[in-house]
Amino acid sequence: MEMSTPSRPAWIVTDSTADFPPGLIEGMPVTVVPLIVEIEGRSYRDRVDLSPDEFLAKLRRGVLPRTSQPPAGAFQEVYQDLLDQGYEIVSIHIAATLSGTLNSASAATQALGSDRIHLCDTGSVSMGLGWLVIEAAELAASGQPAAAIVQYLERRRQHVRLFAMLDTLEYLQKGGRIGRAAAFLGSALQVKPIITVRDGAVEPVERVRTFRRGVERLLDLAREHAPFDRLAVLHLDSEGPARELRDQLQALQPELQIPLSKIGTVVGTYAGPGALGFVGLVQAARSGS
């Protein structure tokens, strides 16, 4: 009688564009590989060498950063260490259409020649990526094998809802990530664009004339897509309005813990100061997870 081989434990690898609030992944089987931000000729590892607050101060001075994916060697080092410990790896990342991060992860996988590394494109960014990582890590911690986690993510990524109001499209445009939101260019200066990220593309939702109306519209969008299993509020240099938005979202679903997530240096390079939004995972059956 043949003995079945027990599945290896799974470990999750992701990148720093997940924008996790402090402490959210503490104690979970997750390793974060930082992207690179170049400012005034100096390179920083996102959220390692440069905090969101330090980054914001530079952005306010009119400095336009450049971002790049982690080098393949950074992934290779992390992967090798986890393989040596006996793990199967599920590497979950920002949309390939928005960053070359998945390409770096793929190059590292090919260099190692291991079939125990599984790459996943979430088609999202910030806590759209972050929430999927959280759920994958919970599955890994419960003993689910890597293959089952990958299958789950393929379904679950369709349930991400990310909406944000930007103070300006200037940063998206200069960074080359504007996508179909370019339709909003040429609007009156006072108009605030509301965007979404869907299947790896930045898409326009609508324009509002005041910040207050923008917050109201974000709440309308949350109501349209509720109920959520998970929900976070995102912001860059908008903590007061972010807390207000969270309080109103909390009233929508009092049972949820809704963290505030400060947008990191990479995503902030394209969103710009004053960005405010939310990311949720809509409720869905999890059979087979």
Q: Which pLDDT score, from 0 to 100, does residue 269 have?
A: 85
Question: What is the arithmetic mean of pLDDT over 145-174?
Answer: 90
Overall average pLDDT of the 259-285 stretch: 89
Indicate whether 267 pLDDT > 80: yes
Which tokens sit at 145? 């094998």
Give the pLDDT confidence of 58-97 residue by residue, as tens digits: 888 888 888 999 999 999 999 999 999 999 999 999 999 9
Residues of the chain above pLDDT 70, percent: 90
**What tens digit of pLDDT does each residue of 46-55 get?**
988 987 778 8
Q: How confident is the model at residue 202 (pLDDT cuts 50, 70, 90)?
A: confident
CB 102 within 8 A of CB 94: yes
DSSP H or E stretch at residue 173: helix 170-174
- Over residues 100-114, mean pLDDT: 98
Closest CA to 60 of 260, 271, 237: 237
The DSSP line for 52-65 is HHHHHHHHHTT---
Q: Among 240, 259, 235, 261, which residue's Cα sits nearest to residue 249? A: 259
Going along the chain from its start, the domains and CATH numbers come out as 10-35+67-158 (3.40.50.10170), 159-282 (3.30.1180.10)
Q: What are phi and psi of 205, to 5 degrees?
A: -110, -60
Distance CA 250, CA 187 (A): 33
With CA atoms as reference, report the closest residue to 162 among 196, 125, 194.
196
